[in-house]
Amino acid sequence: MVEFSGTVVEGLRAAFGVAGYTVDGVAARLGDQANAALGRNETAPAVRRTASGDALDTMIRLFLLQRSVPENDVHKAFPGIDLVAPGIVVRSGGEVQAAVDVRPFGADGREWWVVADLTPGLDGRREVMRSDYVLGIAPASLSLIQLTVPIKGERALDIGTGCGVQSLHLAGRFNQLTATDVNPRALQLARATAALNHVDLDVRDGSLYEPVAGERYDLIVSNPPYVISPPGGDLTYRETGFTGDAVVEQLVRQAPTHLTDGGWCQLLANWTCVRGEQWEDRLAGWTGDRSAWAVERERLDPSEYVELWLRDAGLHGTPQYPTRYDEWMRYLEDHDVEAIGMGWITLHNVEGSLHAEPWPYEIERPIGPHVLQRFERVETLPNDLNGLHLRVADDVVQETTGQPGAEDPATIVLRRQRGLRRAEQVDTVLAGFVGACDGDLSTGQILAALADLMDRPVVEILSDYLPKIRNLLVEGFLDY
Ligand SMILES: C[S@@+](CC[C@H](N)C(=O)[O-])C[C@H]1O[C@@H](n2cnc3c(N)ncnc32)[C@H](O)[C@@H]1O
């Protein structure tokens, strides 16, 4: 049982503040090398950097390196508070060890402390994870934070809150925050995280939308337990009893009934690519007549997928590995799964359709502002672009390739440096059009001049190039 009372919360906050137990404070104490090693789950360099025994060293060793620390050092680091009774540390001999992970975390220029279960597998330790394990700040958690559209509103919902990290990130931007989970331990730790950060969080027990029946939100975020696995998987943080990708399907299908008009739902997701079906069509069936965007960041074949998640559970190299591997493969075969897509889905509760695409390339982070901008453009660009005075976006560069000495380039590519860092191959006409977009002439005027120059009918140029110009506008190559 982990419970942070008012005295413990205030004591921890004060102690962390005095010691400098912050993102920057820890980074400065560890230095680049030990920090990077800790990012790879190796603690030895960090142990060397935390030998002074001062309060910050004690906190780092206790929570981040999972070392035993003399009880006396803990008393000095956390004066006047008992960390044993609330279940934050456990005693063993004259030393104590952390029972939960409490670490500083920063995003968007703000900082918090997050309470979660201890990071498994430090220094290559093979640990079987408890089935109610509560994940800390994982790479997927950060992806969702970076994907979240930077809006403000009245109410936000964090489904599958775990340690509460998404809710923290939404705090201050919404007046009411609701967080749900089915794991009682996650509910406890999310409450502890909220308390420690003075965040008013309404934490509710229940599956998916059950705890919020009849309620609507301006933003719903979820990093759900999306792993597509055979029945019997018992890691609540990643698996559910749902078949295939039904957990994601239900989150998406039911989102509009829990969103305000114009509200947003953003999910990380895994989806199955089923034999004989296009994945884009399956997802379009879920998003219906709502405006939505699905991005497949990675696609794995069934064996790559099974290996990924068996390793994640620490099962690689164990006696049950071959059997579990075989069972999982059989399950995917039985469901006609050819591959698994891994990515994001954003649904905006206005009329529209789904745009689904693979985009496995490096992107700018946070991507949320660009997601918002793309939706705005898809939904608000006028039908007639002729009257718009366009400008090339500041981040666009033109790359040309071709034979040395050739009069004309063989290919011209426009590349954005920001957002999804998209690249579009264009012909000389479109390159000429974009080059002329300085806000002076209208789109129609530039296209008419190009038609004249090429001795082609204006109507032909308009019908060839206006759809391409619309695409460049949607993808942010052009501004208006
Ligand atoms: C991958 S973790 C995400 C934790 C956290 N939100 C984050 O972004 O790091 C998924 C969470 O969903 C919870 N969960 C599992 N099944 C659920 C269900 N049916 N309804 C709601 N939450 C569920 C798990 O307990 C876990 O806390």
Among 77, 67, 73, 69, which residue's Cα sits nearest to residue 12?
A: 77
Domains 139-380 and 391-479 share a fold: no
d(CA 67, CA 57): 11
Q: What is the DSSP annotation of 287-335? A: HTTEEEEEEEEEEE-HHHHHHHHHHHTT-TTSTTHHHHHHHHHHHHHHT
CA nearest ligand 1 atom 19, residue:
207
- Give per-residue burial for 277-298: e unless 16+ CB within 10 Å, then b: eebbebbbebbeebbbbbbbee
DSSP character at residue 396: E
224 in ligand 1 pocket by Cβ < 6 Å?
yes
Distance 272 CA to ligand 1 centre (A): 20
Ligand 1 proximity of 16 Cβ (cutoff 6 Å): no
Is residue 181 lining ligand 1, measured as CB closer than 6 Å? yes
Does the beta carbon of 193 lie inside 6 Å of ligand 1?
no
| DSSP secondary structure of 178-233 | EEEES-HHHHHHHHHHHHHTT--EEEEESSTTGGGTT--EEEEEE--------TT-
Counting from 1 in the atom list of ligand 1, the atom nearest the Cα of 144 is 8
> 159 in ligand 1 pocket by Cβ < 6 Å?
yes
First to last CA, the chain: 56
116 lines ligand 1 (CB under 6 A): no
What single-letter amino acid sits at 21? Answer: Y
Q: Report the nearest atom of ligand 1 relative to the CA of 238.
A: 1
Question: Would you state the structure tokens that stand for residue 328, as one six-digit string?
Answer: 């999982």
DSSP string, 410-439: SEEEEEESSTT--EEEE-HHHHHHHHH-BS
Please state the atom number of ligand 1 nearest to the C-alpha of residue 161: 6
- List the domain boundaries for the chain: 6-99, 139-380, 391-479
DSSP code of 236? T
**Per-block mean pLDDT, blocks of 10 residues, the chain (480 long):** 88 98 98 97 98 97 97 96 94 93 95 96 86 94 98 98 98 97 96 97 98 98 95 83 93 98 98 96 98 98 96 88 96 97 98 98 97 98 97 97 90 97 96 97 97 95 97 97
Q: Is 240 in the pocket of ligand 1 (CB under 6 A)?
A: yes
Give the pLDDT of residue 235.
86
User: Whose structure tokens read 């040395």?
Assistant: 404
CA 244–ligand 1 middle distance (angstroms): 16
Q: Which of 161, 188, 221, 228 for a ligand 1 pocket mutation test, highest count of atoms within 8 Å of Cβ? A: 161
Beta bridge partners of 258: none
Task: Report the C-alpha gap between 12 and 4 in whole angstroms.
Answer: 10
Which pLDDT does position 473 carry in this prediction?
A: 98
How close is the Cα of 203 to the center of ligand 1, in Å? 13
Q: Which single residue is written with the structure tokens 């075989």?
A: 326
Between the CA of 145 and the centroid of ligand 1 the distance, in Å, is 15
Domain spanning 391-479 has what CATH number?
Answer: 1.10.10
Q: Which residues contact 364 (CB under 8 A, 6 or more apart)?
A: 370, 418, 419, 420, 421
Alpha-carbon distance of 228 to 189, in angstroms, equals 26
For residue 327 the two structure tokens come to 């069972």
CATH number of 139-380: 3.40.50.150
- Spatial separation of the C-alpha atoms in residues 104 and 171, rounded to whole Å: 16
Pocket-testing residue among 237, 247, 309, 312, ligand 1, by greatest number of atoms within 8 A of Cβ: 237
Please say whether the beta carbons of 167 and 181 come within 8 A.
no
Residues 62-78: b if buried by 16+ CB within 10 A, e if exposed: bbbbbbbbebebbeebb
Max Cα distance, the chain (Å): 90
Instruction: Supply the residue whose CA is at minimum distance from atom 22 of ligand 1.
Output: 160
DSSP state at residue 64: I
Spatial contact of 228 and 199, defined as CB atoms under 8 Å apart: no
Residue 159 to residue 423: CA distance in whole angstroms: 35
Spacing, Cα 37 to ligand 1 middle (Å): 28
Alpha-carbon span 303 to 331, nearest angstrom: 12
At 369, which helix (H) or strand (E)? helix 368-380
- Say how many Å lie between the CA of residue 183 and the centre of ligand 1: 8
**Could you tell me the two tokens for 52?**
């002074």
- Contact, 300 vs 259, CB < 8 A? no
The CA-atom distances, in angstroms, between 42 and each of 47, 48, 126, 139, 168 are 10, 12, 13, 17, 28
Nearest protein Cα to ligand 1, atom 8: 141
Residues shown for the chain:
480
Q: Residue 162: CB within 6 Å of ligand 1?
A: yes
**In whole angstroms, what is the distance from residue 186 CA to residue 363 CA?**
31
